[in-house]
Structure 1
Amino acid sequence: MENRDDEEVENGHEILPSNAAQYSSSSTHGNSSEIMDVEEDDIFKHSTTLTNKQRGNEVTVRPATLDSLSIHQLAAQGDVLQVAAHLSKDGSVLSRQDDRGFTPLMWAAAFGEKAVVDFLLEKGADPNTIARERESALTLASSGGYVDIIDSLLRHGVDINTYDWNGGTPLLYAVRGNHIKCVEALLAKGADMTIESDSGYSPMALAVALGHKKIQKVLEDHILKLYKPQT
């Protein structure tokens, strides 16, 4: 699994955007990811979970065999060889969307599996696919703090300002998760700082509301760089 930009993650929560996966929370061991309601301090409107159960990991029952896992679950687990095997049998699964509209690429991005992300992109996976609630691979990677995956996706021409059903952009989710390196990477590639979520938060306003002071400094420095008078 790819290293996360997690040195500044607070409260032990990983964040995933929107209604990415309202699956059963009976198995929440490991890399379970949550968006928690924070009243007016949050740009998001609902609590959601993306658990290892949907990824194919069962904590309380016999582990699933590889043959029983979908390509989406294999991508989420980082199993490049099995993903390749599925593609060799049926190339159409490369862009197949599950019941939430997630592609294998989106699952790999959500769980920080960079090797799978790079493999799928090399095979022609569309990085701009939008799921049912307008989630994207870039939004999921930004929410999870996976800066190397963000870089890979940006090299493949993704829409850096894509927004989900909450109006949340990749930059807003990176700010929400306090992922400094992700914020820096997105700003360096031209992410729009003026876009607000549906609840009215800009990236700067959200950083202030959540007390992410280092993120505030990054945003302030970027603004100064943008508007520094030319000599």
Structure 2
Amino acid sequence: MNKVELFFNALQQGQLETVEAQLKTNPELANAKDVRGFTPLIFASYFDKKDVVETLLKHNASVDDCDGSGNTALIGVAFKGNTDLTNILIKAGANINAINNLGYTPLIFATMYNQEKVVKLLLKHKADKFIEDNEGKLAIDYAKEKGYSVIVNLLS
């Protein structure tokens, strides 16, 4: 296993001490990509590793780097509904209106997966509810299609 694979293994398992030690020795690991194009920040965010996310940000992990599908860490946590990580990423300067390869923003993803708390949080931080995806749909269109009345009201 090479150092990037070892690093991602430690990330997935939430081995904070190992992650910190590897970052001190190899600071470039904070922005390395695995074979699927995931950055450490996207990977740790996806696995809800709050302490690891905070450590990566302290070690200058790029908050808006994308995976192979154009997803940022914020887009990834938006669909999972993790408000703690959403807050951390926003405070770290994440682009609240980042757009992936399908034209989805964090707000569209949060809406598609009925993540009301994340939708509220994104709107509080001025997420643009008028960005259309590649199909010409807005977040509210997804909320209406899926019958998410609370989110429809938030986006109206």
1:105-124 CA distance string (max 9 Å, x none): 11011111111111111111
Residues 77 and 108 in structure 1, CA contact (< 8 A), matched pair in contact too = no
Q: In the superposition, relative to structure 1, how do residues 167 and 114 fare at CA in structure 2: closer, same or farther (>3 Å)?
A: same
2:16 counterpart of 1:77: no
Larger Rg belongs to: 1
Q: Which residue of 2 aligns with 1:212?
A: 148
Alpha-carbon distance in structure 2 between the residues aligned to 1:155 and 1:138: 11
Alpha-carbon distance in structure 2 between the residues aligned to 1:155 and 1:89: 27
Alpha-carbon shift at residue 92 of structure 1 (Å):
1.4
Q: Which residue of 1 aligns with 2:86?
A: 150
Partner SS state of residue 56, structure 2: helix
Alpha-carbon distance in structure 2 between the residues aligned to 1:73 and 1:137: 18
Q: Which residue of 2 aligns with 1:114?
A: 50
Alpha-carbon shift at residue 163 of structure 1 (Å):
0.7
Alpha-carbon distance in structure 1 between the residues aligned to 2:35 and 2:5: 15
Alpha-carbon distance in structure 2 between the residues aligned to 1:77 and 1:139: 22
Q: 1:124 corresponds to which letter in structure 2?
A: N
Residues 4 and 32 in structure 2, CA contact (< 8 A), matched pair in contact too = no
Partner SS state of residue 108, structure 2: helix
- Give the one of 139, 164, 170 matched to 2:106: 170
2:138 counterpart of 1:186: no
Consecutive unaligned residues of structure 2, counting only runs of 5 or more, are none
Q: 1:98 corresponds to which letter in structure 2?
A: D
Q: 2:155 corresponds to which letter in structure 1?
A: L
Residues 75 and 105 in structure 1, CA contact (< 8 A), matched pair in contact too = no
What's the TM-score, normalizing by structure 1? 0.63
Q: In the superposition, relative to structure 1, how do residues 68 and 105 fare at CA in structure 2: closer, same or farther (>3 Å)?
A: closer
Alpha-carbon shift at residue 68 of structure 1 (Å):
10
- Give the one of 86, 92, 95 matched to 1:159: 95
Identity %: 31
Aligned residues: 154
Residues 74 and 106 in structure 2, CA contact (< 8 A), matched pair in contact too = yes
Q: Which has the higher helix share?
A: 2
Residues 103 and 134 in structure 2, CA contact (< 8 A), matched pair in contact too = yes
- Give the one of 115, 129, 132 matched to 1:196: 132
Alpha-carbon distance in structure 2 between the residues aligned to 1:180 and 1:149: 15
User: How large is the Cα RMSD of the aligned pairs?
Assistant: 1.7
Partner SS state of residue 102, structure 2: coil
2:48 counterpart of 1:89: no
Q: In the superposition, relative to structure 1, how do residues 178 and 100 fare at CA in structure 2: closer, same or farther (>3 Å)?
A: same
Q: Which residue of 2 aligns with 1:136?
A: 72
Alpha-carbon shift at residue 76 of structure 1 (Å):
2.7
Partner SS state of residue 145, structure 2: helix
